[in-house]
Structures are given as C-alpha cells and as structure tokens.
Amino acid sequence: MKEVVAASLAFLIVAGPSRADPVGDFYAGKPINLYIGYSAGGGYDLYARLLARHLGRNVPGKPNVIPQNMPGAGSLKVATFINGVAPRDGTAIGTFARGMPIYPLLFSPDFDGAKLGYLGSITSDTSVCITWNNSRIKTWEDLVTKPSVFGGEGKGSDPDMFATLLREEFKADLKLVSGYPGTADITLAMERGEVDGLCGISLSTIRAAHGDWLTLKKINIVVQAATKPDPDIPGTPFMPDLAKSPTQKQIVNLAVAPQAMARPFVTPPDVAPERLKALQEAFDKTMKDPEFLADAQKSKLDVNPMTGVEIAAMVRELYQTPKDVAQATARSLGAK
C-alpha cells in the first residue's frame, strides 16, 4: 500500500496540476467576426480576407474567422459599430480607413481612437492620386491648374480627405463626387470616364488588383502621400515636400501620418487584456506564418507589418497634436 501511495505522489509531482487556458477555452468553438468597412474587391477587403484565412489557427482555441463586408460612409459605419454595439468580448474585429483612428481628433468626438484595441497592420503603405490615361489631368501641374472630378467615399475616408486637402491647401480646381462604397467602385467609374480619378488609393492595392495599370501605363500617378517617398515610383511628387509654409507642412504631415498603419485591424474598447494580448500575439505569429506569407505572395499583397503595440503608441502620440494644428488640419480635410 505504501508503495502505491508513493507512486501516486510521484506521478502528481512529475505531472503537476493541469494547466488551464481560459483564453483558449473561451475561443474554442466560437467564431471571430471580422467586419470590413468597404465593399468587396478593394484593398481593405483583399487584406482582410487574407488575414481571415490564417489568423484563427494562431489564436488559442483556433476559432474560425469570418469576414463580413459592412460598407458605408467611407468605413465610418464599421468604426462606429466597433466602438459602439459590437461585442466587447474579443469576438469582433474591424478594419477601416487608416485615417479613421484620428477621425475623432479631426471631425467628431463620437469615439476615442486611442481606446480601441489594435492588433496590427499587415503593411505600411503609400497613398497616391491617380487618373485614367485619357484624362487631361496627367501631372501635378495639371491637377493644380485644370478643372477635374474625383471620386470619394465619405467624410473621413482617404479618397475624400486627400482630395479635399489638395483643394484646400494646394488650391486644386477639383470637384469631389462622394458616396461610392469603395475604391473598386471609384476605379470602375474612372475607367468609364465618369470621374478623372481618385486620391487615397494604396499603391499596394494597385499592384495586387490592377498590376496591368502600371505595366501598360493605363494610369497617371499624379502625387504620392506617405511618411516617406516610395522608391517604386521615383520622380512622383511627394505631398509633404510640396508644402510651402511651416503651418502647411504641419497640416500635411498630420494628414499623411496614418499611412504608416495602412490598414489597421482593431477590437472594440474594453476587451479583456488577456484576450487582446492573445489576439495581438496571434496577429504577430500570422505575419511570420509560412502559409500566410505564401498566400500573400500568391495574392500579390505586400507584407510589411506594424504591430498593434506600435500602432497604439502612434495613435496616442497623434492625439497629443496641438489643438490649433488639429483644427487647421480638420478644416483642410473637409470639417465644417
């Protein structure tokens, strides 16, 4: 009997108590819904669906990630949904315009971008203004001196903000036709000749979805907007360099700062810290996952990730922008 007891104690000491995994237990058998702020076929949609195919296997409990398009108001619909009524238990993720985290700083205090939970971005990016090859707007000089019509999605979206910035700060004779569900819809209108082009489309989107535009020179890239010039389009005017005065440079720099976070993936505020951390770690693992990287390469999507921790720090810093600079930038981006 003594030998049996001793053996049992030895087993318990070696095996130890079973380790509970509350995060894995929570996600096991539950789906994560990924809400996409744009219509199908655009860059945000392509990147979101790429992530949805791979993120789940790196989350404890291996939940399925289900992408759902929720276009509206230049992705403001998803931003307000994630901030407001979406579940705050870690089963809802959203992606929206890169400028949306600072939307409250510039336009309306409906939510606080610094309180969202950031998983990360698959890539940083460069936004460009493009026109179709038969448009008379072919160069920066044409854009600021000739009348043009550009497509938009809604206040706070990149196409609207950059088109308005060009009109307000650089005096471009530009008419903005807003309300398109996404960039795929605007580019179709551009090809049909309904608009000259659009601003705020990502260079990565063009490479992935419209590579022939570049190889066959179907578009004119008029100007680029980013935190640094893109080496793949040398000679294309760089918007921050076009600013004339110190104040104008501050405005342009704040407007283009979100390019670094490209296509952010977020949770609502107040998600339990351990679940947010698990999602952030799963995102980071996915960025190094061979299957994910092979899928991205096959889909011609750039991978140059920014972590959720880095994005959160960046957003907090942007929220420290002096009030007068934020107000001036808001006016130049279309705030009334």
Q: How far apart are CA 85 and CA 110, in angstroms?
A: 13
What are the residue boundaries of the structural domains of the chain, listed by start? Answer: 11-124+261-332, 127-258
CATH topology of domain 127-258: D-Maltodextrin-Binding Protein; domain 2 (3.40.190)
**pLDDT for res 336:** 58
Calculate the alpha carbon distances from 105 to 99, 113, 318 in Å.
10, 8, 9
- Edge-to-edge strand order for the sheet containing 32-36? 65-69, 32-36, 92-95, 264-267, 117-121, 306-307
| pLDDT tens digits in sequence order for the chain, 336 residues long | 555 445 444 444 444 444 579 999 999 999 999 999 999 999 999 999 999 999 999 999 999 999 999 999 889 999 999 999 999 999 999 999 998 999 898 888 778 999 999 999 999 999 999 999 999 999 999 999 999 999 999 877 889 989 999 999 999 999 999 999 888 899 999 999 999 999 999 999 899 889 999 999 999 999 999 999 999 999 999 999 999 999 999 999 999 999 999 999 999 999 999 999 999 999 999 999 999 999 999 999 999 999 999 999 999 999 999 999 999 999 999 875
Q: One fold for both 11-124+261-332 and 127-258?
A: yes
DSSP 8-state secondary structure symbol assigned to residue 231: T
**Full-model pTM:** 0.85
- The beta-strand segments (E) located in the chain are 32-36, 65-69, 92-95, 117-121, 127-132, 148-151, 174-177, 197-202, 219-225, 264-267, 306-307
CATH topology of domain 11-124+261-332: D-Maltodextrin-Binding Protein; domain 2 (3.40.190)
Nearest to 100 by CA among 114, 79, 129: 79
